[in-house]
A and B are shown apart, each in its own frame.
Chain A
Amino acid sequence: MKRERDILVIDDEPIVTQGLMKICLAEDLTVDGEGAVSAALDRLTTTNYRLIICDVMMPGLNGFQFLAEVARRDIGTPVVMTTGYSTVENAVQSLRFGAVDIVPKPFTTDEMLAVIHRGLAYGRLRDGAPARPTNACAEPRPNGHRLGHISWVAVEPSGSALVGVCDMFVKTLGKVHGVELSEPGSEVVLSNAAAVIVADSSMRFSVMSPISGTILEVNPAVIGNPASIESNPYAEGWFYRVLPSDLEYDLRCLTKCEAPQGPSAPG
């Protein structure tokens, strides 16, 4: 019988591990810390965790290799990545390998807590679902692409693109209270924060943009009625209409949306 714990923190920097453990303990979460991927993998053979927080760049095996190993062993635990070197490549790679989210260092307690909250919810949601929500992108229109399970983009015939948040992201944050969007004319950058969803718990969840470009239009409906993000994130719940700056590159970084499959899929 495996031990049950809440969170495993993997970082080669003790101060980061200690800090993260302190945050978790304050939230009454049981937490373990490891300085290397190999030790963490050993620990995973004896203990079940609800969430793993792992650094990308580490001596020995790195975060990507850890993600691959977790997938290979079919350990169902959600993983949140952190990185001191936050590049588009690192973010895209992490999400593609199955990470729930990636948090650039340095982060505040609240920022990390929000992601931890979402990671735990993600695990709960998946455990409850009959099938793994690998492509839980109920994309109603063609040409949809997603960045992990965080945000989606759909290219319109005019060349502009609609950007919104994925349903998995919304489902993991609780009840939506409000949304903070950027002004039209400002820039969004792939894998950089583009919007903040505020939950009823007053936690703030930042949403990474799936595309780089200039915001042409902000969806007024979503500001007036933030609940539309919950009810239909792929249609009425869109955030921005964006003029892409390098669509070709961005699309290569994203995953193509597939029609939802399995018994849980509607229609």
Chain B
Amino acid sequence: MSNFKQKIGFKLTIAVCATALVTISIFACINIRSQRRNLLDEVERHAVQICEAVKSSTEYDMLLNEPHRVRETIKRMGNQQSIERIRIINKAGEITHSSDAEEVGKMVHKNEESCYACHSRDRPLEHLEMKERTRVFRHSPSGPRILGIINPIYNTPSCWTAACHAHPESQTVLGVFDVTMPLAAVDRDIARGQIAIAAFALSAILALSLILGILVKLWVDIPVQALLKATEHVAAGDLGYTIEEKSSDELGMLARSFNNMTRRLSEARLHLVQSDKLASLGRLAAGIAHEINNPLTGVLTYSSFLLKRSQDRPEEQADLQVIVRETIRCREIVKNLLDFARQSTPKKSAADINEIVGRAISVLDRQLTLSHVTLVRDLRPDLPLAVVDSNQIQQVLINLIVNAADAIGAKGGTITVRTAALRLPVSGVTHIRKAFCAKHHDLMDRDVKMGGKPAVRIKVRSEGREGFIHLNPMYGETTNIQGMSFDAAKGAQFLCPECSTSLMAEDRTCPSCKAPLFAFEAPPYGRMQICTSRTCGWRRWEAIDATAEKDFIELQVSDTGCGISKSDTQRIFDPFYSTKGAKGTGLGLSVVWGIIDNHEGTIDVTSEEGAGSTFVIRIPLKP
């Protein structure tokens, strides 16, 4: 892994955590602020209530002009714990009453906290809003916060009509109540709240990060790492590597697709490598055959000559017959090798596979009995006839059974030959072999090949121009068009290159993109319809779509022998690869592979070391 910081899991976790950090922090800040304001508001309301209580409880004594009673009330109320000080300041700025007795009679400057709210402007205010009556301050910069509240004492008729005549009628404001309250307790509460919220925010961020980290690791990081590892394996050439398909999400689907892809890739590679090997084997075999046939000619002519000349010596005759017979056998082997090397196309005819199995077994019966091998036939009785080269299939069976017997060895065991019929889907293997316009002109262009097969040639008339296009004959999921550019939307016409008969299917439009369709006869599977839009690629070949499945005959040869090691299973179909040492040529299974390939069939092997192997051959019923 290149860099920890470049991992997608890390990036995702960091991104989500950063977002969580920012949002939770903002949320915590707002929360702290509002809590602070709420507490302060509560204290303020409390202060205002106290103020009003003091005011109303002293008002009557004021009117009676009994200052000592006023003083006593203020003193008692001021002793309450939640109140720092209560004082009354008159219009002139003199402290007339105070819970702190020492202050009484002192003058207060206009800039003092108590006076500032009204006297900060040029002319003193006569009316003060409720909100403006409170202020928060400190006595010293490091001291506790104090909440101050002033409550103006307005002149009322009862004031100026009182017996003492202390206040004239012209006066509006007689003085102010000034109550101060310590905020230490409230500040403690606020601090506690702040700590609690911060702690909560922090733990929320941590928990969120942790959970997200784990989930990202589980759902994204680990599957992505597995995919990455798999791509590295595949890049290094290990196409047998598969990813464990655990989840059903997009990454699980990706893993499945990946496994699918590597499987197909390895099949294609096996095929390619095998074909390549067979081609070089062909050259080699041709050389060997030529070289070997000359000495064999010597052996065969001399021995058959001797045989001819020794008719009066019967004891020599028998021996010479052996030499001649065995040399003729060699001749057949070399001939078969050459035939195989030439990859002769199978001479196919409808045959009963069960019958071929019977013939192959009858060839080997004696040999198997001698080596204590029990042969079990598990043949499906009403097997449909398959179009195969019976001789080649017999050869395949003989090779497989001989191999099985060799795997069993001297200790004895069982070989089971099983036949079955099954139906499997065909995956895009059909291609257009013939194509005709309505007037039966051939549309196939044998000079232009796409994917190694003759392409379909069609004339196109589009926007006043004429030209030719070629269609890939392979019937896959989409059309592959090469050649002249055209635009279906601008009324491109598709014509027979010979007679210019329109190939347009007037009555129908593409079910996928609504563009017009063109069509031609593609025997033996009937009409093929193709969308004229180059980008759409829709096409239909109904006879093929209908036969989405193909019938196969399955042929199994299993044994109770020594099995094949996993590393060997990759190579057993290679020419000259043999585990039998001097006993084998290493050609048997490659011959089998070649024959089955020629029959468009497949061969697979499953094996357990020490328990036996099973070869499974599937041959299409019809080629």
Which residues of chain A are near B289, meaning CB under 8 Å? 84-85
B349–A214 CB distance below 8 A:
yes
Across the interface, A26 reaches (CB within 8 A) one of B290, B309, B324, namely: B309
Contact of A109 among B286, B291, B301 (CB under 8 A): B301
In the complex, how many angstroms separate the beta carbon of A160 from the nearest chain B beta carbon?
13
Instruction: Select B294's contact among A13, A110, A189, beta carbons within 8 Å.
Output: A13
Task: For B200, list chain A residues within 8 Å (CB).
Answer: none
Whether a CB of chain A sits under 8 angstroms from the CB of B305 is yes
B176 CB to closest chain A CB (Å) equals 124
Q: Tell me whether A214 and B347 are in contact in the complex, defined as CB-CB below 8 angstroms, given that A57-B290, A105-B294 are known contacts.
A: yes
Q: Are B294 and A187 closer than 8 Å at their CB atoms?
A: no
Known: A23-B305, A84-B289. A15 touches B295 (CB 8 A): yes
* A108-B347 contact given A16-B297, A16-B298, CB 8 Å threshold: no
Query: Which residue of chain A is the closest to B299 with respect to CB atoms?
Result: A106
How near does chain B come to A209, taking the closest CB pair, in angstroms? Answer: 12
Q: B304 near A110 (CB under 8 angstroms)?
A: yes
Q: For the complex, is B30 an interface residue (Cβ under 8 Å from A)?
A: no
Q: How large is the interface on A (under 10, 10 to 19, 20 to 34, 35 or more residues)?
A: 20 to 34
Contact A20 B301 (CB under 8 A): yes
User: Which residues of B sit under 8 angstroms from A141, Cβ to Cβ?
Assistant: none
Complex Cα–Cα for A85 and B347 (A): 21
Instruction: Give the distance in Å from the alpha carbon of A187 to the alpha carbon of B389 in the complex.
Output: 9
Establish whether residues B342 and A87, one from each chain, have CB atoms under 8 Å apart when the complex forms.
yes
What B residues does A109 contact at CB under 8 A? 301, 304-305, 307-308
| B296 located at the interface, meaning its Cβ lies under 8 Å from any Cβ of chain A in the complex | yes
Report B281-316 residues with CB < 8 Å from chain A CB. 286, 289-302, 304-305, 307-309
Contact residues, A225-255 vs B (CB, 8 A): 245-246
- Across the interface, name the chain A residue whose C-beta is closest to B307: A109
- Residues 314-339 of B, flagged 1 when their CB comes within 8 A of A and 0 if not, give 00000000001001101100010010
Which residues on the B side are within 8 Å of A142 (C-beta)? none
> In the complex, A26→B301 CA distance in Å?
12
B391 at the interface (CB under 8 A from A): yes
Residue among A16, A20, A189, A214 with the most chain B CB within 10 A? A16
Known: A23-B301, A106-B296, A108-B304. 6 other contacts (CB 8 A): A19-B298, A23-B305, A106-B293, A106-B297, A109-B307, A246-B345
What are some 27 contacts across the A-B interface (CB < 8 A)? A13-B298, A16-B294, A16-B301, A18-B298, A19-B302, A19-B305, A22-B302, A26-B305, A26-B308, A57-B290, A84-B290, A84-B293, A84-B294, A85-B293, A86-B338, A87-B338, A105-B294, A105-B296, A106-B293, A106-B327, A106-B330, A107-B300, A108-B324, A110-B308, A185-B349, A212-B347, A213-B347
The chain A residues found within 8 Å of chain B, CB to CB, are 13, 15-16, 18-20, 22-23, 26, 57, 82, 84-87, 104-110, 112, 185, 187, 189, 212-214, 245-246
Closest 4 pairs between A and B when the two form their complex, measured CB to CB: A84-B293, A19-B301, A15-B298, A108-B304
